[in-house]
Structure 1
């Protein structure tokens, strides 16, 4: 009897990388979901939104599960660790379409945002959608959305973030995406995408001025009124065709 088990995700090594050989990058698989969820919850606490507002229970799981819907997310694995937990970094992404974005809007209208972080992320994504011309030019277009990046403590400065970004951009081209979009919550990512990688700023929200109706209390709140470093949450886009 022949086996029908899927082939393992292939490791990749971009040219010109400074990453040590024992740190491999490969496509994320459903088997990685739990590890990515735990690493997200650990690393997101360093981001301005996570540091200021905290991480909601199950948030990492939601991100990880959304990240394996399309084969465009990558993880970094330290092959010297004994395992089974060997993931030390990730770059999660998903594919957006006009149809999928409308379905999300309909779901939010029915069920709500869930929490303040999701509310502000959804609001800034709406700014991107209002300005982008991708779907006007091609209603069937695909856009890759960078969802999250995380590098575990002790693995910073080893080229993982750079290589994860490179293979993700290459994957976007490979799967036929016409653009890439990203929400940047910190100075470092805003500088990277806006000044070094040629992404266009599509919209920004001043954290301190953002208001939403708390769906648990029904009251209007300013959940980030004291978040001033950085001053803005920003969304960027880069055309690929």
Structure 2
């Protein structure tokens, strides 16, 4: 009798065990079915995660000089300069709009090439490359690349002291314009290069761009103008005779 009871108990336990494990097996199969149906290759992805290859975006609106190369007047700029001169007519139309002048007035392909190469480069204090550049470095590079001036100091304050003072109504292409942008003192903290029609090109906090001197901010913060090159070098046909004085 005891053997019979043991057998009955064993059979009951086995039956109970099967009923416990079946739902789990069924649930697992059911949960896998959608995956197998939607993804027959068996590849599973984490929910809400997507990968975008090569998602790096160049915000400078132009190509960046490869790391390790100096963008200042070198190989990259030289190549761009040659290409820009080939497309000079197109550049003239572009910058005639930006400078609010006639196409015929733009007779300096080297200047247009330089501006187009750097235009849109982000501002970076102390920077000298296409990854980022500050105002005085941009002015230095422009004057050295376009006009051959290799003696201009590095900072805007030193450039102001180095250049010869001229009146605002004497400004010509290639002259420097200085501003104070920090605090109430009229200490020079910003520099740009004058173009024409009250326009100047500079490395602003928004990047390298062309701005108007008559703009409220720049007009209010204007400190003075300076000249470090002979007016004949600017391509101006009738240069204004400037007053005497040392550099």
| TM-score, reference length from structure 2 | 0.31
Question: Which has the greater radius of gyration?
Answer: 2
Higher strand share: 1
Q: Which has the higher contact order (CA 8 A, sep 6+)?
A: 1
